[in-house]
Structure 1
């Protein structure tokens, strides 16, 4: 291999990896090295190069000068013969996006640890995960990765290969004393590994994941776009997240979200974890191979702008729970409850009135991934609203084609035109090409729908479209502060609200978000204020919530709050709560047309 990497532990207690990069024939004008500034699938400039703490270059046992060109690039002085670069990377990011190392676990994405040799990115490369270094931490440690093994020992340590730099950085590596189970889906080997303390029922996990994987493979059509697949999960006390890769995914979940041995019940947490696995697996088709032209190829040194994230994240968010329904892991009633929670999350954000889905997709680099106290007022999520748009588009297509076409047909057409041959053609979808293909596949003029759903802030016709498959909708008041949505036979008739989101604080109640047009905003309260007293009595989170539940519209309260270190006084006037909580249930008296549409929706 003209490019070779090796990685080992420099100091586990100090969270330092040691990496060596060897280039057989470096650029005679001076070899340039670059580290990505972001990782595909997580649209934020993360400055991974800040974690390179030492770097040096050598050739023929001589030190070669290095010049830093920018925050993430270096030039090695001209030299002939093999060039070796040795550097250390600080790794203490317990997330799916970066690199992590301590005495219990090692994990890394290539974007955090492997410098790219400019001019050689399209060439094959090899990686050695040094056995002695990692085995010294624990003889029980093993390696899990989507990289192709060339020569490895029984625990997976040794040499791996990648066809190019893009493949190298798209195959994260988990090294720990993890639990492991293997299964096949449509003849393809799959593996689930879980690091961290847990008591998961691995057999049940394998059974449930097989159903999800086989459904999605068959949705797009066999064969699967990979020869093997790895789910890499870190179980923690409190955490949630996932990041897709070409033949693997990195996940984080609460250990209590995993199914317990001996329990046949499906907890809300386990249902959420299955939805996460379903989401990242669906990305194997939708974004890893069917992808925007702006990502084909990725420019990893700067932002890559696209207005299509609603299609790649939103549609994937639509199919993640739908896959659970169609493969029999959840009931239709459970699906409607999850859908109600998604619709409620969108409804409660004033940002849906301020930002379109195309704008949300384009501005993700500076808004969605950089959320602050004003985000609910200005930003709409292309994940959640994108999922609702996908549902509405699916139902609209079904209704207008007399149930002969659906979003499934659009996704299969996109796969056949772009995804199936992406590895050889590398062709991405242009900004408005997605809409053109959807219209060609369905034979419908969808211009008005896309203008409404993607380029305006008009509320979606969710109720009307759900009615066509015999689903009744309910938009009601929240019954309590923890109400996230769902059908209620006897909804609360009236209530008041402060228009805030809060967190506990030792002094009282901290306002984390003040929602536009709410009572707190009208009173002059701001995010970050700590309410310490209401009507002369010490404030607490429970008291603050119960006051709203029992207040009458127009009732005035004297509020004392600290802003920074200044004590301020406000008059807080209770306002009627608005109906912002969705519920859905299957209609008991739907017509035959509704029943037929629902039947096809449920089975594919």
Structure 2
């Protein structure tokens, strides 16, 4: 037994009340009053989530003697003073009803948790090894539940868990402990080996996934990425934890696993002849989170080294860690042969269109978007498209522009691939955080180019990226197409049969007429309007026409006169030359 380790236990307490019971035992607590806390956020999702708000009960004992706990702030407790040699055990009951990749969820079908939601941090002892006893829920109904996690069994310890079984697991530190989410339940399981590394796919939820097809596709993606950065891979094994539901999309990266939420309809099915758009998108998500194994989990900003789990960790580099990853996620699918060139062109055109349609790109720089992610990107409201640019989407386009610039100016000798490998060697393998200027400096060193102007314009400016010119050099023609209908200048959503304005774009026809986000459209030119017919009504109009609009603002009926605009050329289309040049072959690998 490792007496120096922090000992944790976790068990589903009530599947109907959706509660876990977590325990933390410290053999040598601070005798002046050991402090415990729960993280305020989870790495990879840059929003203060205050996980401690889900603790519904907490208590402490030393042996059989109760120990009082004093709450110091929203997520920190201090135990009463103890005598030298006395241990302490803190038990907390945690409410778990967040079916996302960021929190914890428990019902009669499965249990899922991130360590940030259930495992208390022992302040001052975060670097000690941890032993985790994962226990089953009570009752015969759950006797066939298994465990899927990248946590390693605690070999050498009594009650060591077997793979997929209950018992003791280990982590080298608290940071490692909270970086291994756990799934418990009845899941479909598949295995494959990529470059010598065992991989597992665990799918929870109702689905008819063709596991053989999914396994083959993920294997080629993983092998390409491992070889991209260089063997051996940095993890001993890897687990894809997938929850399939009716309609959802999301993922969160971890050092040796990823938690994914998807629509069951996006998974491949037996007999699927042509890759569906949903499956293509899902593979892109898997590729994205897997690329994070290197880019952000190991190559990470100095501001995240180490993470401060109590508060926001500010950096201007999220565009690189999410945007560059977003660039490579679909590119990896193309290079490894999972998708065709036309698929990739459509995906890239969609990203270009999404950025072009957001007025926020003219207001906020990528550096600002990265820095303000905590209170802007992760807290979207009706004005977000007007004020915020996505460091994912525009970050991917800046990565594209940087890659093409490097390839063009060095005649294909240096690319963003080389920059990523240099970052891996210097920062990922060493654990040295990436400084705010390091990406530019490494790119300049590798290429011999002066890139200050590029980074100043692309990362710290709000001007348009020269994508049309850059892509043309590589045999790709960027064309812009406008929608056939005149522009109203709004985003809408169907809410209970009502057509609600969710965003009114700056300087749009709707904004000039006085319409606002939250207004509910009733009629255009005295004809009832709904999500099913608004385009048909506008198709009969011409740019410059004035239409009468009736809408409810709260409970007040309003009338507006809207002079329609011409739709902007904001729909991108990419066309590849029939005969690729050498630059394009070396770039795309085809």
Q: For this structure pair, what is the TM-score category when the shorter chain's length is used for normalisation?
A: over 0.9
From 179, 182, 206, the equivalent of 2:215 is: 206
What is the Cα deviation at residue 135 of structure 1? Answer: 6.4
- Whether 1:166 aligns to 2:156 is no
Q: What secondary structure is seen at the aligned counterpart in 2 of 1:371?
A: coil
Contact 1:96 1:251 in 2 (8 A): yes
Structure 1 stretch 398-407 or stretch 543-552: which is displaced more? 543-552
**Aligned ranges for residues 565-584 of structure 1 at < 5 Å?**
565-584=555-574
- Whether 1:441 aligns to 2:446 is yes
Q: 1 CA distance for matches of 2:588 and 2:543?
A: 44
Q: 1 CA distance for matches of 2:238 and 2:538?
A: 50
What is the Cα deviation at residue 79 of structure 1? Answer: 1.2
**Aligned ranges for residues 134-533 of structure 1 at < 5 Å?**
136-150=140-154, 151-153=160-162, 155-422=164-431, 427-479=432-484, 495-506=485-496, 508-533=498-523
Structure 1 stretch 3-12 or stretch 292-301: which is displaced more? 3-12
Contact 2:153 2:162 in 1 (8 A): no
From 560, 577, 585, the equivalent of 1:587 is: 577
What is the Cα deviation at residue 506 of structure 1? Answer: 4.5
1:603 maps to which residue?
589
What is the Cα deviation at residue 555 of structure 1? Answer: 1.3
Structure 1 stretch 154-163 or stretch 38-47: which is displaced more? 154-163
Give TM-score, length-normalised by structure 1: 0.94
What is the Cα deviation at residue 154 of structure 1? Answer: 6.0
From 66, 78, 92, the equivalent of 1:75 is: 78
Q: 1:90 to 1:170 in 2, by over 3 A?
A: same
Q: 1 CA distance for matches of 2:126 and 2:105?
A: 25
1:488 maps to which residue?
none
Q: 1:376 to 1:436 in 2, by over 3 A?
A: same
Q: What secondary structure is seen at the aligned counterpart in 1 of 2:329?
A: helix
Aligned length: 580
Q: 1:560 to 1:466 in 2, by over 3 A?
A: same
Q: What secondary structure is seen at the aligned counterpart in 1 of 2:24?
A: strand
- Whether 1:32 aligns to 2:35 is yes
What is the Cα deviation at residue 553 of structure 1? Answer: 1.8
From 535, 541, 565, the equivalent of 1:551 is: 541
What is the Cα deviation at residue 264 of structure 1? Answer: 2.8
Contact 2:153 2:163 in 1 (8 A): no
Structure 1 stretch 548-557 or stretch 321-330: which is displaced more? 548-557
Give TM-score, length-normalised by structure 2: 0.97
What is the Cα deviation at residue 537 of structure 1? Answer: 2.6
What is the Cα deviation at residue 136 of structure 1? Answer: 4.2
Q: 1 CA distance for matches of 2:527 and 2:581?
A: 57
Q: What secondary structure is seen at the aligned counterpart in 2 of 1:497?
A: coil
| Structure 2 unaligned regions, length at least 5 | 155-159
RMSD of equivalent CA atoms:
1.2
What is the Cα deviation at residue 134 of structure 1? Answer: 5.6
What is the Cα deviation at residue 438 of structure 1? Answer: 0.9
From 89, 104, 108, the equivalent of 1:84 is: 89
**Aligned ranges for residues 11-26 of structure 1 at < 5 Å?**
11-26=14-29
- Whether 1:113 aligns to 2:121 is no
Contact 2:548 2:559 in 1 (8 A): yes
Structure 1 stretch 300-309 or stretch 540-549: which is displaced more? 540-549
Q: Could you report, residue by residue, the CA deviation over 1:217-255 in whole angstroms, capped at 9, with x for unpaired residues?
A: 000100000000000000000000000000000000000
Q: 1 CA distance for matches of 2:331 and 2:421?
A: 16
Contact 2:524 2:537 in 1 (8 A): no
What is the Cα deviation at residue 509 of structure 1? Answer: 1.8
Q: Could you report, residue by residue, the CA deviation over 1:504-545 in whole angstroms, capped at 9, with x for unpaired residues?
A: 244642111111111111110000000112222322223322
- Whether 1:130 aligns to 2:135 is yes
1:484 maps to which residue?
none
What is the Cα deviation at residue 137 of structure 1? Answer: 4.1
Contact 1:28 1:78 in 2 (8 A): yes
Q: 2 CA distance for matches of 1:348 and 1:175?
A: 42
Q: 1:169 to 1:507 in 2, by over 3 A?
A: closer
